[in-house]
Amino acid sequence: MFEINNIIFLKIYQFSIEFLIIRVEYQQVPLNVYHEKNCNMPAGIDDLAIYVPKLYLDYKDFAQARGIDPQKLEHGIGIKKMALVDTNQDAACMASNACLELMKKNNLHPDDIGRLYVATESSIDESKALNSFVVGMLEQVYGDSSFEHAGGIECKFACVSGSYAIYDNTNWIRAEENNDKAAIVVVTDIAKYDVGSAGEYTQGAGAVALLIKEEPRLLALDPKVTSTIIKNEYDFYRPFGKETPLVNGLYSNLLYLIQVRKAFDSYKEKAMRTGLIHLKDGESITDYIDLFTVHLPYRRMGEKALAYLLRHEWRTLPRWQHVIKEIGFDEPVPNDSRGTIESTLADKEFMKADEQFRKAFMQTSFYNEVYEQKMASSLEASNIIGNLYTASMYMGFRSLLECEFKKHHDIEGCRVGFGSYGSGSSAMVFSGVIQQSYKEIVKNMNLEEEIGFRKRLSMDEYQILRENERNLNESYARAKNEFILVKIGGSTADKAGFREYCYCN
């Protein structure tokens, strides 16, 4: 958005390219070419399973209680139901529930698993890793020490850490260190903000467990193109002992966009250098990504991230003049040429003009065509669950698979581009190709059914939950076929902080 060089270049270019054809032919890299050229052993996501807690807040109740227009929540943010954890649940229970579901549906035994990683920013202990709690719970079902042979850690980097965990475990398999075993990566989080804050309507909770294997049935990750970016930032953070994060909302939104775009630039360079994607004149790398799924703190943020990326990628291409023609006014240029986030945010005149332009761009047929074809399906789940931090992008991927299947779109061989973001801050961009046998798995997906019955909490009940006024054993929903937290702290001093879980039949 802020590259002045690109904008000047565009102005010169605009006059000479008026009548160039702007639509490019869809080009998909055939699967066999992909395998031969780039990877001897495809590895990636074989299957996934979800857990969403049984309580939710309805956006209309929330809007009324906080004096907000419900239209703002439904359309401006993109939330209808926010999932909430019960008194007897935490990130470890949710992770274990998702993991157990994944193992059951794939008839997996602990012997099949070589690594169990958990990525979260809702940790329950400063030292003891969350995956150790998950192992403890799973061993209640599979037997004492049944996971002893495996390894794994808890990973933290706000919402991006799950992507690092998947990348590392995929490489563990590619390096053939896995001894024929698979890895499970569980992303699990509780997004919780201060009562009355602007973040409060972007809450949610849930977990996704992903089975990482060679010859995966769902998605083979593209090798040698994964790209990351990292910088010390304070856009969103939660100091020790604090239950809710400190957030600079506007700053975090802009930082998300910029960091993902920078990681995408690096992805693009690698994709071209490795021959994964060959760009011809007038083409954009976004033409070669068939489906997008990005970090989703809320649905609208996904839509904005796509707009930001397309503007960045298309600005210097012949098609841009057609976009501008449809919009009817030029893209604004920052008054301040430093191009830092601070200088951009301080440039109020530019920010206002840029917001106007962004909104107009999102109304164009150009944006909407890409949005409908490549992103809309990934945003559906976010509407009825909310922010899941580490799990939000993977719930988006799950949503994409199910919705595309229900639309009768055959996505075999399609390339999915992932834009993962974690505050603090780091972004990771990577891609993968949907595999031949994906329908085997996707045909059985049904989000509403898998979530099951949920209790709609009143705002009074929510308030009580937020003030921790109910004990562990005073849950609102009745647990069935799932792990719950039954006790914190043992009876003796040497058991202080112990957490006890049990499986409820």
Q: Is 389 in the site for ligand CAA (CB under 6 A)?
A: yes
Q: Is 159 in the site for ligand CAA (CB under 6 A)?
A: yes
Q: Is 253 in the site for ligand CAA (CB under 6 A)?
A: yes
Q: Closest CB to ligand CAA among 15 and 239?
A: 239
Of 9-17, 73-81, 82-90, 344-352, which segment contacts ligand CAA by CB under 6 A?
73-81
Other CB atoms closer than 10 Å to residue 495's CB: what's the count?
11
Cross-strand bridge partners of residue 416:
291, 432
Output the residue with the shortest Cβ distance to ligand CAA. 76
Q: Is 446 in the site for ligand CAA (CB under 6 A)?
A: no
Q: Please state the closest distance from residue 105 (CB atom) to ligand CAA, in A.
A: 28
Q: Is 299 in the site for ligand CAA (CB under 6 A)?
A: no
Tell me the three state secondary structure of residue 44.
strand
Q: Is 413 in the site for ligand CAA (CB under 6 A)?
A: no
In angstroms, rounded to a whole number, what is the distance separating the alpha carbons of residues 27 and 328?
Answer: 31
Total of residues contacting ligand CAA (CB under 6 A): 24
Q: Angle formed by the axes of helices 319-327 and 299-314, to 10°?
A: 130
Q: Please state the closest distance from residue 382 (CB atom) to ligand CAA, in A.
A: 11
Q: H helices of 127-205, where?
A: 130-142, 161-174
Write the CA distances from 449 to 52, 97, 405, 484, integer angstroms: 11, 16, 16, 21
Over the range 57-81, which residues count as b (16 or more CB within 10 Å of their CB) and which as e? Answer: bbbebbbeeeebeeeebbeebbbbb
Q: Is 256 in the site for ligand CAA (CB under 6 A)?
A: yes
Q: Is 379 in the site for ligand CAA (CB under 6 A)?
A: no
Do residues 416 and 28 touch, judged by C-beta distance below 8 A? no
Query: What's the CA dihedral at 189, 292, 161, 103 to 10 degrees?
Result: 60
Q: Closest CB to ligand CAA among 270 and 300?
A: 300
Of 83-91, 147-155, 249-257, 331-339, which segment contacts ligand CAA by CB under 6 A?
249-257
Closest CA to 186 of 111, 260, 256, 103: 103
Q: Please state the closest distance from residue 486 (CB atom) to ligand CAA, in A.
A: 30
Q: Please state the closest distance from residue 372 (CB atom) to ligand CAA, in A.
A: 18
Q: Is 357 in the site for ligand CAA (CB under 6 A)?
A: no
Rounded (5°) CA angle 193-197-203:
35
Q: Is 71 in the site for ligand CAA (CB under 6 A)?
A: yes
Q: Could you say which of 11, 75, 224, 478 contacts ligand CAA (CB under 6 A)? A: 75
Do residues 437 and 217 touch, judged by C-beta distance below 8 A? yes
Q: Please state the closest distance from residue 423 (CB atom) to ligand CAA, in A.
A: 5
Over the range 387-406, which residues count as b (16 or more CB within 10 Å of their CB) and which as e? Answer: bbbbbbbbbbbbbbbbbbbe
Chain positions contacting ligand CAA, by CB under 6 A = 69, 71-72, 75-77, 159, 198-199, 202, 236, 247, 249, 252-253, 256, 295, 297, 300-301, 387, 389, 421, 423
